[in-house]
Structure 1
Amino acid sequence: MSAFPFQIVGFDLDGTLVDSHGDLAHAVNHALAQEGRAPVAPAQVRAMIGGGARKMLAKALATTGGPVADARFEELHDALLAFYEDNIAVETRLFPGGAAMLDALAVRGVRIAVVTNKLERFARKVLADLDLSNRFFIVIGGDTLGPGRAKPRPDLLNLMVERCGGGRAAYVGDSTYDTRAAAAAGIPCVAVSFGFNDVPPAEMGADAVIAHFDELVPVLESVGLRNAPPITV
């Protein structure tokens, strides 16, 4: 087996590693019900995911009648988070091929990370409930570095490389939050077309797009060759 080009591969969580839109939809609709709003369909919530719970709730409120006062928004946000924490992995599952793909990266000695805009404690709970925690070298959440440091800023991806001990890194995501963060961090990015894409995958600015996790390892090998650092003598 030839040397794999990346020592670190990071993954977004919702819409990339796991299909969580059903559980997130239930949490959003629980919060909307507190305001007497009609529920939104899971397919609608799927398109709202990516920037964290606050942005998801704000989009759901806009869809069902408009924003609420700031204090009320905080109450609804708290209700959403509490419900979600109690029902975090009822329907959530790895996307097809995910387990075999993680095995293939592990065999190649890759340090595998999760870097998500989800709150870190929720990301860890999802992985624990799905019995996936031991597959990841580190887990970084949108709040790990404090306010204002989440994707699309590069801070979380820079932290990923630091905490993984350095080396060539690649990132896998499903939205422009991911591709923009990777570009800002100087890290190649692969987009998944089966995720919660906020724009058509071909327009995300990723180095490559895959339609199934079976494609990821060979695509990363190809991306690694295209983005190989120059040889110095």
Structure 2
Amino acid sequence: MDRLAVFDLDGTLVDTAPDLVDTCNVVLAARGIATVDPARLRYEIGMGARAMIEGALRINGVTLGADELDRAHEEFLTHYASRIDKLSRPFPELLAALDRLTVENVALAVCTNKAEGLARQLLDALGLSPRFVVVTGGDTFAVKKPDPAHLLQTIALAGGDKDRCVYVGDSRIDRETAAAAGIPMVGLTYGYSDVPMTELAPERLLAPGEDVGAAILSLFVDEVSAA
């Protein structure tokens, strides 16, 4: 394998917030807890479903015991799996990037804090799975992002070389992961970060509509046709 591009999933490859937020609010409502405005809850997505529920509870000033939180998490996963692609759609810029990178013989992988099974289910439902040589989730290894080992082990599993890899993400978690792993990053400004990507200084910063594929290619040091 010559070059590898690794992508976050939620807020990077796919706009999953509508299905995730609706699911979280169903879990809250079942417990008599006020639902949370989607604009606030979307920034709780990056660390996975359980952390999202905990974030929604914090917003409401509510604490659940460990057993009840476990039950809420299980209900979330069950309900979300039943509607995983109801509203979620790939970002058009990313579909175009996947097409271009495939033409350029760049291998593709996914590294997400979403449970691996749910990540694969979503990619299958959207017809994207065949594009990726590897998909890893927050439960694939003993660690998950922002631990750089999650990204580094994903690269190793894909048969890649960290010195010939670019990471693409949308959040503070992604930026911390890439920086700790020593891998250049394309940062997208339209995802779910609790800190604006403009403040996180990725190697390339892209707004909606910009050419993600060209940005990725530009970060491979010997790339001569980035534009």
| TM-score, normalising length: structure 2 | 0.92
Find the counterpart in structure 2 of residue 222 from structure 1: 218
Alpha-carbon shift at residue 220 of structure 1 (Å): 2.4
1:9-51: per-residue Cα shift (whole Å, max 9, x none)? 0000000010011100111011101210111122222121101
Can you list the C-alpha shifts for 1:121-160, whole angstroms capped at 9, x where unaligned? 00000000111111111100010013xx000001121112
2:157 is the alignment partner of 1:163: yes
Q: Is the 8 A contact 2:166 2:185 kept in 1?
A: yes
In 2, the alpha carbon distance for the partners of 1:98 and 1:208 equals 15
Secondary structure (helix, strand or coil) at the match of 2:47 reads coil
Residue 43 of structure 1 aligns with an amino acid whose one-letter code is A
Report how far residue 183 of structure 1 moved.
Answer: 1.3
What is the 5 A alignment of 1:1-233?
A: 7-146=3-142, 149-167=143-161, 168-212=164-208, 214-225=210-221
Distance in 2 (CA, whole Å) between partners of 1:224 and 1:101 is 15
Q: Distance in 2 between matches of 1:205 and 1:117?
A: 22
Distance in 2 separating the partners of 1:226 and 1:38: 53
Quick one: percent identity of the two aligned structures?
A: 40
Could you state the TM-score of these two structures normalised by the residue count of structure 1? 0.89
Partner SS, residue 191 of structure 1: strand
Q: Deviation above 4 Å: which 4+ runs of structure 1?
A: none
SS at match of 1:61: helix
Contact 1:18 1:92 in 2 (8 A): yes
Report the CA distance between 1:97 and its aligned residue. Answer: 2.3
Question: C-alpha deviations, 1:93-128, integer Å up to 9, x for none?
Answer: 001222221110001111100100000000000000
Match of 1:3 in 2: none
Q: Supply the distance in 2 between the matched residues of 1:87 and 1:176 (Cα, whole angstroms).
A: 27
- In structure 1, the gaps of 5 or more residues are 1-5, 228-233
Per the TM alignment, residue 222 of structure 1 is displaced from its structure 2 partner at its CA by 3.0
CA contact (8 A) 1:89 1:130 kept: yes
Stretches of structure 2 that go unaligned for 5 or more consecutive residues are none
Figure out how many residues of one structure are paired with residues of the other and give that number: 220
